[in-house]
Amino acid sequence: MTPEHSPPPEHTRGRPGAAAVVTADGLVKRYGLTTALAGASLAVRPGDSVAIMGASGSGKTTLLHCLAGIATPDEGVVHYGGPDGDVEVTALSDARRSALRRSQFGFVFQEGLLVPELTAVENVALALMVGGTARGEAERLAAGWLAHLGLAGMEQRRIGQLSGGQAQRVAIARALVTGAPLIFADEPTGALDSHTSADVMGALLGATTATGRTLVLVTHDATVAARCARTVHMVDGVVAADRSASPSPSPYTQPSAPPTVSPSAPPTAPPTTSQSGREDGR
């Protein structure tokens, strides 16, 4: 629908799925008389970090949900170019879509949607245990991610014993621990003050891009968007503008494309030693 949707020819060559991690083409989604999406198109490439901006009600969350297979559009198609090749998400059954979400996607929402009765490490480990990882191994990997995100020593705290920023870091660890190549975040810093927001965004971007993942992020905060390699603007249910932070290829895309995570999305340990990318917001 939008001109920028058509990838240049070089992106169509090579491995299936190498052109884009996820592609939305002409999405229409109606809720009763409300048209949430009116022909939205977007292609997200491996290793990219894309901020989706736009006024409240412009369709940002609906687009994210359609990309992630949480919602199904009334018209249009979504493709996911995973390690296993191309999957038409919009053609999958509910069961297959939820299996795809579980194995391939990580989610961070405005409210972390963490389980308050569980500790930080249990919340993160749970994401692995639902996929069949044994508890001991799951908690070991979870603790590694918590430490990587600056939460060493807080593993045994319940969510209510953490600050908002710390709780969001737990949510980020939970999204990344499964090895999911594609991370979706909807206003992940929307409930945080600006200082904490910058801090959490640094953690999210650093941890995502340092491990070669792709990030699609909804935000209304221009400071948050500025830290992503690319920003798209939604107006009335369509992607109206699309801009990269720099005209040259993003530094994110070079070392990381394509995703190196296998189809079964094995649990991952956080990147070791080097701090590279940790606070690399740009």
Residues contributing to the site for ligand ADP (CB under 6 A) = 31, 34, 36, 54, 56-62
Q: Are strands 49-54 and 214-218 parallel, antiparallel or unpaired?
A: parallel
Q: Please, what is the minimum distance in Å from the beta carbon of residue 34 to Mg ion? A: 14
Range in contact with Mg ion (rule: CB under 5 A) among 57-65, 88-96, 206-214, 245-253: 57-65
Locus of tokens 């740009």: 282
Q: How many residues bind Mg ion (CB under 5 A)?
A: 2
Can you spell out the DSSP letters for 170-236?
A: HHHHHHHHT--SEEEEESTTTTS-HHHHHHHHHHHHHHHHHTT-EEEEE-S-HHHHTTSSEEEEEET
Whether the CB-CB separation of 28 and 38 falls below 8 Å is answered with yes
**In this structure, how many other beta carbons lie within 10 angstroms of the beta carbon of residue 34?**
11
Whether the CB-CB separation of 87 and 17 falls below 8 Å is answered with no
Of 56 and 93, CB closest to ligand ADP: 56
23, 49, 58, 61: residue in contact with Mg ion (rule CB under 5 A): 61
Of 41 and 61, CB closest to Mg ion: 61
- Return the residue nearest Mg ion (CB atom): 61
- C-alpha 158/C-alpha 209 separation (Å) is 28
Of 34 and 264, CB closest to ligand ADP: 34
Range in contact with Mg ion (rule: CB under 5 A) among 14-22, 58-66, 82-90, 259-267: 58-66
Q: Please, what is the minimum distance in Å from the beta carbon of residue 61 to ligand ADP? A: 3
Identify what 57 binds: Mg ion, ligand ADP, none; CB under 5 to 8 Å per kind: ligand ADP
Position 171, amino acid: A
Q: Please, what is the minimum distance in Å from the beta carbon of residue 253 to Mg ion? A: 27
Q: What backbone torsions phi and psi does residue 238 show, to the nearest 5 degrees?
A: -130, 155
Q: Please, what is the minimum distance in Å from the beta carbon of residue 59 to Mg ion? A: 8
Identify what 40 binds: Mg ion, ligand ADP, none; CB under 5 to 8 Å per kind: none
Identify what 54 binds: ligand ADP, Mg ion, none; CB under 5 to 8 Å per kind: ligand ADP
Of 63 and 170, CB closest to ligand ADP: 63
- C-alpha 227/C-alpha 278 separation (Å) is 13
Locus of tokens 């297959």: 96
Range in contact with Mg ion (rule: CB under 5 A) among 12-20, 52-60, 97-105, 133-141: 52-60
